[in-house]
Amino acid sequence: MRDNRRYTRVSIRSVADIELPDGTSDNAYLGEISRGGMEMYTRSELQKNATYTIKPYFLFEGHELTETLKGQVKWSSSIKNDFIAGIQFTKVVTKENYPSLSLCIEQAEAYNQYFFIKG
């Protein structure tokens, strides 16, 4: 199966806070992430095409890093009593606009390049 994604997905397991439309927030777990978006698991259903503010937390060399970013829900689905969604960032992750997240993604990309051979 051919992957037509613009950015390489990497595995960075993390948690995040997400602001909901009613002004409350929810906790989320992040799955794979790329410079263009991420997979997110939540207890609250995220509405397709809606834009959310997300604050992910990452551990990098023993230090907690965070960024605040915005993303639009491209797809959403229920999984048992929870939800999974695909989020496209409103800005591509670069060193300039999201330095901490970019650093974590670069490390994961380097790991993948070193340990996995593309076929």
Q: Quick one: what percent of the chain has pLDDT higher than 90?
A: 55
* Domain membership flag for residue 67: yes
* Domain membership flag for residue 36: yes
What does the mean pLDDT of the chain come to?
Answer: 86
86: containing domain: 10-114
Give the bridge partners for 40, in sequence order: 30, 85
Taking the model in full, what pTM does it have?
A: 0.82
CA torsion through residues 92, 5, 64, 76, sign: positive
Give the bridge partners for 66, in sequence order: 57
Distances (CA, A) of 49 to 36, 64, 80, 103: 15, 30, 22, 28
Domain count, the chain: 1
State the pLDDT confidence band at 68, using cuts at 50, 70 and 90. Answer: very high
More confident residue, 117 or 44: 44
Q: What is the CATH number of the domain that holds 44?
A: 2.40.10.220
* Domain membership flag for residue 99: yes
* Domain membership flag for residue 1: no
Q: What is the mean pLDDT of residues 67-72?
A: 94
* Domain membership flag for residue 5: no
Q: What is the pLDDT at residue 2?
A: 47
